[in-house]
Every structure is written in C-alpha cells, then in structure tokens.
Structure 1
C-alpha cells in the first residue's frame, strides 16, 4: 500500500458496483477555461441535493455516498502532443502521484489535470509502461484529493462496482454494474502483447473513462479502466497488476516484464487427437520458440502437421501443464503466472508433455521486447 494522508473517507458498508472504460479519444475543454456553466466553476456537477433519508432511498443513497467519498480523488486528464490531443481520467495513488493509462498520455508534451475542487493543474509524467497500459503522473494535489485505497485481494464475479471518469469529456461521471468476469486477457493499443488478469465489467464505459478507477461500494479500487468492446462489455487492469507495476514506475520510470519467448495456443480436441498428450486434456501448446530466445533449445515447438477431419493440425510441440506451483490450464493462466509471479532473470520449472511422457525443464526468463 502506498503511504496515505489522513483520509476523509468513512467506511462504507455496501459491497460494490461494476465499471470499465474505453480507450482515450474524447476531447476535453482546454486548460484556460471549462467552457461550461457551473455554479462551482469547476466543470464538475454541483453536489447532489439529498433531502431524503437512506431508509427512503437506500440504493441511491448508497451510490451517492461512495460517489461523494471518492470523486474528489479523480481527475480529468488532458494530454497534448505535437500534432494531437487526448483525454482520459486519473486517480490519486499517494500524496503526489496519480495512476492513468499509458495510452492516454502517450507522446504527450503537456499534461493537465482538473479535479472537482480545482482548476487546471499541470502534471508531469513520472513513468509509463505500454505493456500493461499503466502510467504514473505527478502533480501538486489539492487537499481534497486524498489517495484511494487499492484492494489487496481479488473480488469475485458478481461484486458490485462503479466507474468514475470523464466519458466524452463529461466530467465527474459515475456508472455502476458488476464484475462480470475475471482473468481476462486485455489487448493493449500498439502492442503485439496483451495484459493478463483483467477484470470484465458491465458498467457503462466510453472514450474518456480510460485510466479511471473501478471501485467497489466500499470505495476500494479493484482495477483501472482500460477499454470497452461494446455494450455492457468493458475491461479494467487488475489491482494485482497495478501493485506490481506502479511502485517501480514511481521508483525508476520503467517496468520490465518477464518473457518466455514462445508462440503458443490453447489445447484443442484436434490437438489432443493428433498428439500423444497422455491423459492431459488441458494446457498450452507450444507452436514454436523465438530464435535465440529464453526457450530456444529447451522447449519444443511443432515439428510437422497432420490432417484431422480435413483440417491441418500441428504435431510434435510440447504441452505445458505446469509452471512453478501453478497448474496451467490455458494461455490466460500462463500469462498471469509470468506477470504476477515472476521477473526477468528468474529460472522457472516448467512441466511439459512431450512424446507422451511428462518431464520438467528449466527456463531462465528474459525481458519482454520493447513495443
């Protein structure tokens, strides 16, 4: 957990509401003025009037409470470059740092933030990791912008969550839903790699939500909104990934990811029929290894192909069924193990099925190539 200033938040007794956000692309108002009429001149909506008691409107009161407890720690982001500008969302991580998406601030020469209780503030980019799509900003924060708590445990599917952000430049927006899936693989803009351990949500997210927090109704951050793939399907980078990447971005400005150096695919019925995998019906099939990569000469890729019911199927590659202490059921599991349990330079035990026999090999992990 990052060091925190004394928080003004009360403990909320509800469980959560879901959210996720689209890739950056909204146009925010320029720093010199909001361009919107508002009695508080901040660009954020005025505090809602809540004359009713919680007994009269328990659900909306619960949502309003978590909104009021967290919104001052969420900022609109405007990033400008030599030929373009983009907008998104950031949230307060510690006394001087904020977290957002790397794609929101990519190629930016100037970055501005706007909180509900402030005008536009200039921010500096501390570090950025394109592979996880996380970035850290630094700014002189207003007193009302206190750090949000980052969860230290996974929350199950069905947990209610909420997304705070600035969709289409609509500052201070709040949408709700549930965690509708876990362990998703998230595609990252401009990258041939993806990020594992993602959270799926049905909370409404749109361009401009990118980088904003996905929170439970206790106000705890479970993910960083990253993308949307249509109605009711949004994604967030998990808190577990944030915990690994962000501290190193603050310390060094960069983060190195483990690299196995293989082409892989999930095992299928056709692969099982074409190869001798013994009793294994799950795992990750090694299609090939990167020349001179960490696995070259250690793991075995496909040697040839055969035809199964009119379809060409690869034959001869290893089937990975275990890495370290983790059973590897599929690609998502393998990617999550590399991302959350290892660092470049680690030597890992990999259990494979080769030619009908189970064996354990050791691979020393490399560093994932730059984007």
Structure 2
C-alpha cells in the first residue's frame, strides 16, 4: 500500500535476502560471524546499518508519512450536497445525462463519475433527487471548486466542512467541457483554503487524494501519478492526470495534493469494472482548473480561443506524403470562411505542428492548446505549407456559443418518444467549423447506445435510414420511420475526424 510508513524506503532485491538471513540467524541464536565467514570462505555480507533490529526499532516512529500534510489541507475539503426538483430542466437530470448508469456494453461503461443517487427510470413529477460530492475552498472568503456533474441542475447546494458545520452555497458558474464548477459560501472570511500547483506533477510523484463524501468527514487515500495527458472520451479537451490513489463514491470534485500541499488535480472520474475503485482515477489538471475557475469567478462562464479549422490527426502515410519525418501535428481539412485561420492564410492540406513553440501532437492536442488561450490573443503557429515550414501569426476569435442549454431543452421536446441514442445534437450549420451538411454530435452520454457504437463529440451524422438529415427534427423523423416499419436498427452515415463510415444503431425505446 502506498501510504505505508515504510513505503518511501525501497527494498532492492539484493538487500532483501541478506536482511532476511540476518533476522533468521538472530532468531535462531546463531552467530552472524558464521554466516559472514564460514568454513566455505564466503565473503562478508555488507549488511546495511538499517537492517539492525535495534536500529529499525529506533527509527520506526520517525518514518515518513502523510499526517502533517493531511492535517494542513483536510480542513479545506468540503462535502457538497445538492437537491434537484424532478420538474427541473424537463424532468431534472435527464436519463441521457446519468453518469453512473449501469447500462451494459458501452465502452465508457467502466468510466464512472460519482455524485448522484438517482432512482431507476425517469424522475417523476415533484420527485426530489439528492446528490453528493466533494469540493475544496480556494480562497478564505468561501469560493470553492467542485465538479460540474455534482452541481449541474441543482436547485439548492449545501456544503459541510470538516468540523461538521453546514453552509448554504450558490453556484457561480459551471463549465461542462472540463466538468468544473465554482461555488460560493457567504458570511465568513476565514475559511481554510488551498492553492493550485504551478507545475505538472511527474509520473511517479506521490499524490494524496482527499474527499468529504456524504458529510461523514474527510477521507484520505495515497498513491502515485500513473500517467499524464489521458483521453477517456469524456469531452473535447480531455487531458487527465491518472492517479492510483483510490477515489470512491462521493469523492468527485475533491482535490489531489502533491507533497507540498498544492492541488495538482480535481478528482472527476475512475475506471471501474465493478463500480468501486480499482486504483485508476482521473484528475482535471491544475493548469486547466486555474484558467477555468478564474473565468468562472470573473464572469460566470468560460470563453475559449477559436481558430476556425476542421482538422484531423496526421497518420504515418500522411506524414510521408507531406514530407514530415514523424506522424505529428494536425492536418487542416477545411478552414472556415472568414475564420481567424482563413484570414491568416491557412489552407486545406496545411499541417499545424506547433502553437507558440509548443509541439502539437495531434488534432485533439491542437484543440486543447487553442482552447486554453483567451480570445483576441495573437498566437504564432508553425505550419507546414506545400513542403515549406513557415510561422504565421493568428489573432484568435472567440469560440461561438452553441446555445446548448436552450437547444438541449428544445431537443428534449423534439426527441420525446423516439428511440434513445444518448446524444445531444445540433445542426451543422449552427456549429462553427462543421460545414452546412448534417447534424453535429455536441455531447455524448458515456453510458448510452451511441457511445457503445463509437460516436465521439464532433462527429457529424449525414444520413439516417437512407435519408439526409440537417436538423434534430430530421433525425427524429428518420428514427420513428424506422421504428414504425418494424426495424430493430437503423443505418447511419457518420463523418468523423478520420473518415466517413456507416453505423447500425439499435432502436431501443427512449
């Protein structure tokens, strides 16, 4: 176990055997001198001083641990409890937004975001849903961070501090794309708080995860950073820090600390075949959290830089054809007319390899780079253009709002009674950079049928059941027509970042 007091003192295999010999010899009353230089003339065993039982007994009480760190940061961690009226948002938390569903077969079924106790089926009228999560104060005057999926649609929010005191909180702002939310507790100016780390942790660094699930008091687990830059298909800007410190139900929104007591990430999801922790957790990195939280505090919502290009990853074949030594960067399919990219002279077939000197690994990496830069900022792009490398200066625009809140409400009404896909859709013409044909996947239920069949955010559905679609209504009509004709599945033609493919979607009742 990583949190064991002696865990920080590695025991190499070439040391373990002599130590065991020494202890066994001592227990049997034998002379170590015989073991060290017996009749066979064996060379002396250079036993480390710390193998001495007396020395071990002397140093054990001083072995390193996490107690000092935990006592410092634990008071800043809170329990977050929300109430949702079943009438809210067309029935409260809609079925396709359930993050802890047990629907089998989905490739995302084993990625869990904990926070809600939701009854089976759709919430009934006036049914009250309660949710639990964690969070942490980032200022002495009561600003606190948690997950968006913990407070989304909340009618009221209560927080419980480590000493058991309950406060009313208000939601300042949320960001679904990164699953972050900022809440505020008023009436006190001296809350214990913590700060975000300035640097990314290294793989192998110690990490301590702290939560306050269900108001029972803080819980602490320890482990190491297992990986960085993880993409689990939860959103367009996935860049998770993977840790092996157990994250359990109710710990969503809680912090993960480095050994200096700084927050390296916000606990948001786990990989879980069983529903419990198996030691694979995912944290929103501190660099992302700092930028998002700052905007939520300033204006209650997040704006992101916008380049205005459709891009796809550079494969080995593409790299060879354009003269790149490695398959890296993002190749431009189409710069949108009037976009910042088009104005800067970027053309279809150009490969963007760096943003402000930082290497672009692939298309998703480019999206993350640009999204982290404020609109109106001028950036330098390294571009491979017709075999020549050049640097372009581009003034980023503001990512257009896709009006998901109002569109989501309208879509719920439009899709009522149709087979459930687990998708949120918008006409391609309404989503900048998506062209004017088809409907764009703007959000995905990771436990839904679409996720099971490989749909990703940004995919464009061009055709359903042999008919071209350009609106949510078109999709609804095509699904209902297939269902009425007795079909158990419907064929969809889908354009992805890599290719255009056909997907047979089951017509399960919505």
Give the RMSD, CA atoms, in angstroms: 2.9
- Match runs of 1:215-294 below 5 Å: 215-230=257-272, 231-273=278-320, 275-290=321-336, 293-294=339-340
- Match runs of 1:296-315 below 5 Å: 296=342, 298-301=345-348
Find the counterpart in structure 2 of residue 206 from structure 1: 248
Which range moved further: 135-144 or 262-271?
135-144
Which range moved further: 148-157 or 71-80?
148-157
Count of aligned pairs:
299
Separation (CA, whole Å) in 1 of partners of 2:230 and 2:147: 17
Decide whether the 8 Å contact of 1:74 with 1:145 is kept in 2.
no
Separation (CA, whole Å) in 2 of partners of 1:321 and 1:179: 28
| Structure 2 residues without counterparts, runs of 5 or longer | 1-6, 9-56, 87-128, 273-277, 405-510
* SS, match of residue 295 in structure 1: helix
- Match runs of 1:311-330 below 5 Å: 317-330=349-362
1:338 aligns with 2:370: yes
Deviation of the 1:291 alpha carbon: 5.6
* SS, match of residue 232 in structure 1: coil
Instruction: Note closer, same or farther for the CA distance 1:285–1:93 as it changes in structure 2 (3 Å cut).
Output: same
Deviation of the 1:187 alpha carbon: 4.5
Separation (CA, whole Å) in 2 of partners of 1:241 and 1:252: 17
Find the counterpart in structure 1 of residue 77 from structure 2: 74
Find the counterpart in structure 1 of residue 138 from structure 2: 93
Deviation of the 1:111 alpha carbon: 0.3
Find the counterpart in structure 2 of residue 8 from structure 1: none
Find the counterpart in structure 2 of residue 356 from structure 1: 387
Decide whether the 8 Å contact of 2:357 with 2:382 is kept in 1.
no
Decide whether the 8 Å contact of 1:169 with 1:208 is kept in 2.
no
Deviation of the 1:333 alpha carbon: 4.2
- Match runs of 1:78-227 below 5 Å: 78-83=81-86, 84-95=129-140, 96-140=142-186, 145-166=191-212, 171-185=217-231, 187-188=233-234, 193-196=236-239, 198-227=240-269
Deviation of the 1:225 alpha carbon: 1.1
Separation (CA, whole Å) in 2 of partners of 1:212 and 1:141: 23
Higher relative contact order (CA 8 A, sep 6+): 1
* SS, match of residue 75 in structure 2: helix
* SS, match of residue 322 in structure 2: coil
Instruction: Note closer, same or farther for the CA distance 1:141–1:117 as it changes in structure 2 (3 Å cut).
Output: farther
Instruction: Output one character per residue of 1:90-139: Cα deviation in whole Å (capped at 9) or x when no partner.
Output: 10100121111122111111001111212322111112222222211111
Find the counterpart in structure 2 of residue 35 from structure 1: none
Selected match of 1:56 from 54, 60, 75: 60
- TM-score, length basis structure 2: 0.53
Find the counterpart in structure 1 of residue 409 from structure 2: none
- Of Structure 1 and Structure 2, the greater strand share is in 1
